[in-house]
Amino acid sequence: MSATTYRRVAWAAVGLTFLVVVVGAWVRLTHAGLGCPDWPGCYGRISWPQAPHEIDAANAAFPERPVEVGKAWREMLHRYLAGGVLLAAYFLAAAAAWRRRRDPAQPLVLPFAIAVLVTVQALFGMWTVTLKLLPAVVTAHLIGGMATLALLCWLALGPGGRPGEPRRRRRWVWLGLILLIGQIVLGGWTSSNYAASVCPEFPACTAGVWWPPMDLAEAFRPWREIGVDYSGGVLDYPARVAIHLAHRVGALVLAVYLSLLAALLWRWGRRPAAVVLLGVLAIQLALGVANVVEQLPLSVATAHNGGAAALLLVLVVVVRRMTPSRARPASL
């Protein structure tokens, strides 16, 4: 396999992973995360129950969670796509090992790290179901998906940028990437605790009040009781408000910083990157506001998750292009 073909396969894996992230958000937003109460099958089947006798058998085997066909097929679609990412990651790792026999400079650590990460992601997918949407697990599953997307993009980009790029410039981009990751974590926590629609106004929260009573300690308690069904959320109103407003504040901080970063990229001569970054940021902010004032319409909320993934890809591309290739790419 040539280097060009290898990178094309890696880009295909990036596209598939992006689709998995978006479909995963769609599954979560349509409350289909427990559409199949077991794992990796669905009601003991490789597919979801469809025929009347299959549904009757599934209901008898899982009386605590009767079959909802619409939720079941959405959950299984997400699992099939995630399985495709797993196969792609294994293929990239195996191909890298094969190419290493002919080219000692072929990087191995990154492809194998991605394969391990996607395997761990599969386990988190299982725990998401078996632990009944435990918020910490759901959020970790989202973080793992975004990390997989970023690392596959880094791999697909190949060699880094031109030498001589000042290191201090890369630090600006890395800080933006870190802030974005923090905001993605907050977004995952908001979604997994069903706090996205608790403040129906913008810029105020509710009834013209900007800062209603909040319970920060309960809102950000990382681990909760195992065995509880967390579908729909279990937190009280003050805790959900705290999560929601933390996500809003994070969005404001990130928006200011990325706008500044776009101005710096323009000044550094990276004008296409600056325009793309500012454009994706503006769309993402508009989607966030629309989520609030329109009370979380499915298409807008799903697109908002996709926007976060798109911002991540933009920053990964920028920082990769600003990072000069090392003398030994195998160290990646």
Give me the helix-helix angle, 237-267 and 167-192, nearest 10°. 160
Which tokens in the block code for residue 91?
Answer: 């293929």
Q: What's the CA gap between 203 and 190, in Å, rounded? A: 17
Which tokens in the block code for residue 138?
Answer: 């759901």
DSSP string, 204-236: SSBTTBSS----HHHHT-----TT---TT----
Which tokens in the block code for residue 66?
Answer: 């009767």
Active site residues: 75
Which tokens in the block code for residue 204?
Answer: 């105020």
In 3D space, the residue among 298, 305, 290, 234 whose CA is nearest the CA of residue 29 turns out to be: 298
Which tokens in the block code for residue 139?
Answer: 């959020």
DSSP string, 226-291: TT---TT----HHHHHHHHHHHHHHHHHHHHHHHHHHHHHHHTT-HHHHHHHHHHHHHHHHHHHHH
